[in-house]
Amino acid sequence: MITGHFGLAAMVKSAQRPVPLWALMLATVWLDVIFVPLLLTGVEYITPAPGTNGGYGAGVIYADYTHSLLGALLIAALTGLAAAHWWGRRAGTVIGATVFSHWLLDLLVHRADLPLLPGNLGGLPRLGLGLWQYPWLAACIEGALLLAGTFLYRRAALRTGAAASRANLVTGLIAAAGAATLALDLMGV
């Protein structure tokens, strides 16, 4: 889920004008950004889910540090603290909550591969509702988040008197980026 995360960022932006949109976009995918170097170094890894080709949404993702419940909460808290340092406490809270929203949205789509504790300490049960097993359903949810996000963002941008051309441009960019990632998802990239 990438599209849905971006949709959520646009939604948050519509209600929290002082926080920069780029920061919210980055916050929604921050756990995945940290996941990339850990994936490349083999600390976290993906195995194909049984009976699939292992493409996007068809893997069992062992992101045991970045995507453990406690790990995600810690990363969200630290990122929120850093954001509060730059943009004030309210923005820090918004950014921290947005970082953690990634884990909640991932909980919907991931197979049961999200551990509670970093490194799956204690071998506790892993979580995940597995919507990725129904790609069209997952795509509909992501598309709905994107539509809601772009709509709310555009409405808020126009209401604050921002230049309509700029509001339209950013709305278009969000929609285009979202549609592109959604298309890639459905193609199984």
Q: How many residues sit in the footprint of Zn ion (CB under 5 A)?
A: 2
Question: Is the Cβ of residue 35 or residue 156 nearer to Zn ion in the bound state?
Answer: 35
Report if residue 69 touches Zn ion, rule: CB under 5 A: no
Question: Is the Cβ of residue 59 or residue 92 nearer to Zn ion in the bound state?
Answer: 59
Report if residue 32 touches Zn ion, rule: CB under 5 A: yes
**Cβ 106 to Zn ion, closest distance in Å?**
4
Rounded Cα gap, residues 10 and 24, in angstroms: 8
Report if residue 113 touches Zn ion, rule: CB under 5 A: no
**8 Å CB contact between 187 and 4:** no
How many CB atoms sit inside 10 A of residue 67's CB? Answer: 28
What tokens appear for 148 in the block?
């809601």
Rounded Cα gap, residues 108 and 87, in angstroms: 31
Burial 7-19 (b: 16+ CB within 10 A, else e): bbbbbbbbebeeb
**Cβ 32 to Zn ion, closest distance in Å?**
4
**Cβ 18 to Zn ion, closest distance in Å?**
26
**Binding segment toward Zn ion, per CB under 5 A, in 31-39, 90-98, 133-141, 156-164:** 31-39
Q: Which of 14, 30, 100, 106 binds Zn ion (CB under 5 A)?
A: 106
Tokens 């709905």 locate to 144
**Interacting residues toward Zn ion by CB under 5 A:** 32, 106
